[in-house]
Amino acid sequence: MAKARARGGRALIWLVVLIAGLIGVNFSAVQWGGGSWTPSLALDLEGGTQIVLEPQLAEGASVTQEQLDQAVAIIRQRVDASGVSEAEITTQGGQNIVVALPGEPDAATMQRIQASAKMEFRPVLQSAPANAPGATPPAAPAPESTEPAATPETAWDQAWITPELQAEFDAFQCADVDTTVPAPADQPYITCSTDGTARFILGPVVVEGADIADAQVSAATNSQGQATGGWGVNLELDGDGPAAFDAVTRAITGLPEPQNQFAVVLDATVLMPITSNAVITDGNAQITGGFTQEGAQSLADQLRFGALPIGFQVQSNETISPTLGASQLQAGLLAGLIGLILVVLYSVLQYRALGLVVVLSLGIAAILTYLVVNFLSSTEGYRLSLAGIAGLVIAIGITADSFIVYFERIRDELREGKHLSSALETGWKRAFRTILVSDAVSFLAAVILYLLSVGNVRGFAYTLGITTFIDIVVVALFTHPLLRVLSRTRFFSSGHRLSGLDPQALGAVYRGRAKFREPVAAGRAARSSKEAQKRQTIAERKASVGAGVGAGAGASVAPRPGTGKEN
């Protein structure tokens, strides 16, 4: 008994530590992470920004529904990469894409949405600063033909640079770069760096962006594997990528600059020239070059989720009002409050003072849920939608169900004649297995729903999964330990009639297999006997019937009055 009480006290201490820890991380997020003490609301409750993307097409070309569907899927993946933001992404008029985001998106989000992220690796044939002498517009149009006098053998062959191409390069200005026109993959072309500070002559494509299997952010390292203090993007290539990367790095490593470089080309501009310091044979490479963590993450997201099948430009960008508004939010909260009141009333009527344990447990569950949801909102970009609130309301029923299972197990043990302390421990062992199975099913359903759904439905699944896990924590660290503490009080240990654990009111008459206490008087004892008979097993009922038959074995058969015949 002493050990059980000690375990109950330790569990409550761990619960206090958990709540204090959640308060601490929320405080840190608010103070230093730009978070808030209230969860951010989704598009349906707060409103936000609607962006209409128009495809960039060549004259006479048209966009197919397949391209639009693919673009919608990719944009949704990019947006969801920052968290469950409850974005709505749809097509409009069979041509445009409408992206509705809660709040006001930042520049990085806008870039993530509309960038095609078509990446190519090309060898650098020549480079120069953007403001180098001679970088002036040509006096006459450049010759149309740039065919090399000699046939280049490789993508990094200097024979690609013809006199005409060299003259065009010398006069090229970075303002002339047109990112809407795709560069030919099998020909050299002139472009600039993304920041407009350098010009390049690039050879044909050596590695396609489609060969990028994965892109992840990590700390940048040197050739010895030591951290340099910056950030990099780790590329994993598949398909033809590893062999092509092996060939180009093997050929240019050790050449004079800039011939020892290949360019990472993003949307027809050079993200950065990379110097090849070693031959890469396994298709795993790291791109570094002054990235911030946010910049590296943005690039990795774009590359990991693939390139849009077509380019887009922003046609309109406007603020929109909430799709549901405050009235629906109030209605949802009112529904949750009504459900909570009904659960509390039922608990008090059914379980007397144990109903107060239900109220306190629901209060602890509400505190934990609020702290977890608010932390995820501050750090992971989660936004609470009306569907998410529905998930929180359903959690009231899930949590109440766990209490009912536990309390009924305790009552069953008391009906069998056990002492309260023993009934608590035995009932807990049996009830906790049932609670785990029930919550595991709910959690699995939430995970499947989250993985297979999009938009608001994911918000519902998200909160359902969180509250299901919190239910286990509350029952294990608060409800059961609290009952251990209360069982030491005279009110509960004596089985007060208002405690909800009165053995007489529960019909605690069990004295062994098929042996029940005989009713000694009318009233409570009679009710206890009836309750006991209701809870008999089939074997116990047969035994009772057999005992009754044996008791009446000496009875006689007499004629029915007025008939003169035997019955």
Q: What is the pLDDT of residue 542?
A: 58
User: What is the Cα–Cα distance from 522 to 520, expressed in whole angstroms?
Assistant: 7
Q: What is the pLDDT of residue 567?
A: 39
Q: How many structural domains compose the chain?
A: 4
What strand order describes the sheet that includes 227-237? 212-221, 227-237, 284-291
On whether residue 440 sits in a domain, the answer given is yes
Taking phi over 0 as left and psi of -120 to 50 as alpha, with beta for the rest, 54 belongs to beta
What contacts 97, CB < 8 A, 6 or more positions away? 52, 53, 68, 71, 72, 75, 89, 90, 91, 312
Say yes or no: 289 and 388 in one domain: no
Say yes or no: 89 and 138 in one domain: no
Q: Which of 267, 287, 320 is the last residue of a domain?
A: 320
Residue 383 pLDDT level (bands cut at 50, 70, 90):
confident
Q: Is 561 helix (H, G, I), strand (E, B) or coil?
A: coil
Domain with 226 in it: 119-307
Q: Which two tokens stand for residue 266?
A: 């993003």
Q: Which of 380 and 244 is assigned the larger pLDDT?
A: 244
User: What is the Cα–Cα distance from 335 to 343, expressed in whole angstroms?
Assistant: 12
What's the alpha-carbon Rg for the chain, to the nearest Å? 37
Instruction: Identify whether 258 is preceded by a cis peptide bond (ω within 30 of 0).
Output: yes
User: What is the Cα–Cα distance from 404 to 410, expressed in whole angstroms?
Assistant: 10
Task: Please give the helix or strand (H or E) that residue 130 lies within, else none.
Answer: none
At 137, give phi and psi (nearest 5°): -60, 145
- Taking CA atoms, 191 is separated from 139, 171, 186, 220, 354, in Å, by 20, 12, 15, 27, 75
pLDDT per residue as tens digits for the range 492-541: 877 777 877 776 666 655 444 434 344 344 444 444 455 555 555 555 55
Q: What is the pLDDT of residue 556?
A: 39
User: What is the Cα–Cα distance from 193 to 233, expressed in whole angstroms?
Assistant: 18
Judge contact between 4 and 484, C-beta under 8 A: yes
Residue type, position 247, single letter: A
Q: Which two tokens stand for residue 294?
A: 């946010």
Query: Of 58-67, 277-286, 390-399, 533-542, which gets the smallest average pLDDT?
Result: 533-542
**CATH for 232:** 3.30.1360.200
Judge contact between 397 and 340, C-beta under 8 A: no
* Average predicted confidence (pLDDT) for the chain: 77
pLDDT per residue as tens digits for the range 314-327: 888 888 777 666 67
Q: What is the pLDDT of residue 487?
A: 83
On whether residue 519 sits in a domain, the answer given is yes
Rounded to an integer, the average pLDDT of 559-565 is 44
pTM: 0.58
Q: Is 177 helix (H, G, I), strand (E, B) or coil?
A: coil
Say yes or no: 79 and 187 in one domain: no
Say yes or no: 176 and 296 in one domain: yes
On whether residue 565 sits in a domain, the answer given is no
At 292, give phi and psi (nearest 5°): -85, 165
Residue type, position 377, single letter: S
- Taking CA atoms, 448 is separated from 74, 444, 543, in Å, by 21, 6, 50
Q: What is the pLDDT of residue 326?
A: 64
Task: Of 365, 363, 362, 353, give the one whose Cα is nearest residue 486.
Answer: 353
User: What is the Cα–Cα distance from 309 to 66, expressed in whole angstroms?
Assistant: 9
Q: Which of 270, 291, 320 is the last residue of a domain?
A: 320
User: What is the Cα–Cα distance from 558 to 437, expressed in whole angstroms?
Assistant: 60
The residues pairing with 219 across neighbouring beta strands, listed in sequence order, are 231
**Cα 492 to the chain's mean position, in Å?**
43
Q: Which two tokens stand for residue 484?
A: 């251990």
pLDDT over 80 (residue 217): yes
With tokens 């899930």, the residue in question is 398
**CATH for 63:** 3.30.70.3400
User: What is the Cα–Cα distance from 241 to 245, expressed in whole angstroms?
Assistant: 6
Judge contact between 351 and 500, C-beta under 8 A: yes
Say yes or no: 183 and 252 in one domain: yes
Q: Which of 293, 320, 347 is the last residue of a domain?
A: 320
Write the burial class of residue 357 (CB in 10 Å: 0-12 exposed, 13-18 middle, 19+ buried).
Answer: buried
The DSSP 8-state label assigned to residue 393 in this structure reads H
Q: Is 565 helix (H, G, I), strand (E, B) or coil?
A: coil
On whether residue 551 sits in a domain, the answer given is no
Pairing of strands 261-266, 212-221: unpaired
Task: Of 273, 137, 80, give the one whose Cα is nearest residue 193.
Answer: 273
User: What is the Cα–Cα distance from 288 to 557, expressed in whole angstroms?
Assistant: 106
**CATH for 470:** 1.20.1640.10
Say yes or no: 236 and 137 in one domain: yes
Say yes or no: 129 and 209 in one domain: yes
CB atoms within 10 A of CB 335: 13
On whether residue 561 sits in a domain, the answer given is no
Say yes or no: 71 and 163 in one domain: no
Q: Which two tokens stand for residue 298?
A: 């943005």
pLDDT per residue as tens digits for the range 10-65: 888 999 999 999 999 999 988 887 788 888 887 777 778 888 888 877 677 777 78
Judge contact between 500 and 492, C-beta under 8 A: no
User: What is the Cα–Cα distance from 62 to 55, expressed in whole angstroms?
Assistant: 9
Say yes or no: 299 and 267 in one domain: yes
Judge contact between 447 and 463, C-beta under 8 A: no
Query: Of 225-234, 349-358, 426-435, which gets the smallest average pLDDT?
Result: 225-234
On whether residue 303 sits in a domain, the answer given is yes
pLDDT over 80 (residue 248): yes
Say yes or no: 190 and 281 in one domain: yes
On whether residue 553 sits in a domain, the answer given is no
User: What is the Cα–Cα distance from 435 to 448, expressed in whole angstroms?
Assistant: 20
Cα separation of the two ends of the chain? 62
Q: Is 264 helix (H, G, I), strand (E, B) or coil?
A: strand
Say yes or no: 31 and 62 in one domain: no
User: What is the Cα–Cα distance from 289 to 230, expressed in whole angstroms?
Assistant: 8
Say yes or no: 234 and 364 in one domain: no
Give 34's Cβ-side CA count (13 Å radius). Answer: 3
Report how many helices (DSSP H) and strands (DSSP E) the chain contains, helices first: 17, 13
Q: Which of 373 and 495 is assigned the larger pLDDT?
A: 373
What whole-number percentage of the chain has pLDDT above 90?
Answer: 13
Residue 136 pLDDT level (bands cut at 50, 70, 90):
very low
Task: Of 317, 310, 294, 313, give the one whose Cα is nearest residue 105.
Answer: 317
User: What is the Cα–Cα distance from 51 to 79, expressed in whole angstroms?
Assistant: 13
On whether residue 459 sits in a domain, the answer given is yes
**Cα 285 to the chain's mean position, in Å?**
29
